[in-house]
Chains A and B, each alone.
Chain A
Amino acid sequence: MDPLYVKLALGGIALLASIGLFFGIGLALAAHKFAVEINPKVEAVKEVLAGAQ
C-alpha cells in the first residue's frame, strides 16, 4: 500500500484521538467546576412515586 495513505490514516486517528482526549478532559473539568448540587431527596422521592404522569 502507498505509504502516503498509511500516513494519512494514522494522522487521522491521531487527530481524532487527541481532539477527543483534549475536549473530553476539558468538558469533564467544566462539568466538575460548574457542578450543580442536586438534592438527593428529589431523586429518592421520584423513585418511590408511580411515575405514570
Chain B
Amino acid sequence: MKHDVKAFWMFILIIATLWIGGCEAPNFIKAAQFEEMDRIVLTFAGPVDPAWAEDPGHFTVNEKPDPDILLDIASVRLSPDQSRLTLTLADPINQNQPHQVVAKEIVSEGRDLGTQSVTVSKPYFGYLVSILIGALLIQNFVFSKYLGLCVFFGTSQKKSTAVGMGITFTFVIVFASLMSWFLYQFVLKPYRLDYLQIIVFIGLVSLTVQAVDTVLRKINPALFKAFGVYLVLVIANCIVIAVPLILADNEYNMIESLMLALGAGLGFLLALFLMSSVRERLDFANVPTSYRGLPIAFIVAGLFALSFMGFSGMSIF
C-alpha cells in the first residue's frame, strides 16, 4: 500500500516536470500554422489594427536554421474579425523545416505591443512522432550512423543478453539525455560554457550508470544480476554521448529531447534484437572458416544497413 502511494507521487512528479518542460512564454500571437502550400496563418489573442496588418513590411519570414535568408511575402490578408492573419508567400514553403515569423511593432486597439516572433512547425504531436520514428528507423543510430558498433557486436551473440542490454541502454539514455538537456539549456548555454559540453555530458552519463547500479543492486538484485556487466558497458557506447550533442545542436525542448532519446534507445534495442536473432541462426550455418565469428557479423550488419536504407526519405505526417 505504501508502495502504491509512492509510485503515485512519482507519477505526479513526472507529469508535472513534463508539463513545465513543455511550457513557453506568453505571446500575443497565440498560434501559427501552415496552410496549403504557401500560406502561414497567425492567430492573435485579440483584434489587431487593420492599417498595421495591411503592410507586408511589418512581417518577416525565414527558415529557422537560416535567419539571414528572408522569404518573399506576396500578400497579407486580415480576416473580418481582425484576429486571424494570412501571410501568402511568393514560393511554396518547405513545411518539414520549422519557420520563424517576426511581427514588428504589433498594434492592437491603439496599444503598441512591440515586436514578437513565433515559430511555425507542422502539427506538434505529429512532429514528436516523427522525431521518435526518425531516430528509431529512418536514422537508426546503428544502421545509418554507424555509432555504438563495439557494444552492438559485443552483446548481440545471444537473444537474452541482447534484449537485456537494449533495455538497460534505453533506460540509461533517457535519464542521461534529460539531465544533459536540463544542464545545457539552463547552465551551459546562459553562461556561455558550452565549450565544456562534451566533458559534462560524459560525466552525466557515467553518473547515471553509477546511480542505476547502486540503486538497482539494492532494490532488485535479480534484475541487477541479469544486467550483469552490460550496465557498465553502456558508458562505452557512443550513442549515449551522440544524443545529448544532437539535442544541444538542434535546440530541442524537453519533450522533443525525450522523444529523441527514447527513439535512439528503442532503435538500439531493435538493432540488437534483429542482429542477435540472425547470429543465433548463423551458429548452425555452414560459414567458410575465415568468415566465422565477427567477419560474417559485419557482413550481416551491412545487409541490415542496406535494408534500413529503404526507410530513408520516408516522411510521416
Chain A positions within 8 Å of B, measured between CB atoms, are 8, 11-12, 15-16, 19-20, 23, 26-27, 30-31, 34-36
Contacts and interface: CB of A to CB of B under 8 A. Distances in A.
30 contacts: A8-B193, A8-B195, A11-B191, A11-B192, A11-B193, A12-B193, A12-B195, A12-B196, A15-B193, A15-B200, A16-B196, A16-B199, A16-B200, A19-B183, A19-B200, A19-B203, A20-B203, A23-B203, A23-B207, A27-B211, A27-B214, A30-B211, A30-B214, A31-B214, A34-B215, A34-B217, A34-B218, A34-B219, A35-B218, A36-B217
Interface string B183-221: 100011001110110011001000100110011011101
Which size class do B's interface residues fall under? 20 to 34
A35 B195 CA distance: 37
A31 B187 CA distance: 27
A8 B192 CA distance: 7
Nearest to A15: B193
Complex A-B, nearest 10 residue pairs according to Cβ-Cβ distance, in ascending order = A34-B218, A30-B214, A23-B207, A12-B196, A31-B214, A34-B214, A34-B215, A11-B191, A11-B193, A12-B193
Nearest to B210: A27
Interface in B48-68: none
Contacts of A35: 218
A35 B218 CA distance: 7
A21 to B, nearest CB: 12
A14 B22 CA distance: 30
Contacts of B183: 19
Contacts, number: 42
A31 B217 CA distance: 10
Interface of B: 183, 187-188, 191-193, 195-196, 199-200, 203, 207, 210-211, 214-215, 217-219, 221
A28 to B, nearest CB: 10
A16 B200 CA distance: 8
A16 B191 CA distance: 13
Nearest to A28: B214
A15 B219 contact: no
A11 to B, nearest CB: 6
Given A30-B214, A35-B218, A15 B207 contact: no
Contacts of B195: 8, 12
A5 to B, nearest CB: 11
A15 B187 contact: yes
Nearest to B215: A34
A19 B200 CA distance: 9
B146 to A, nearest CB: 31
A17 B193 CA distance: 14
Contacts of B188: 15
A34 B221 CA distance: 12
Nearest to B191: A11
Nearest to B221: A36
Contacts of B187: 15
A17 B183 CA distance: 14
A26 B179 CA distance: 15
Contacts of A36: 217-218, 221
Contacts of A12: 193, 195-196
A26 to B, nearest CB: 8
A15 B195 CA distance: 12
B203 to A, nearest CB: 7
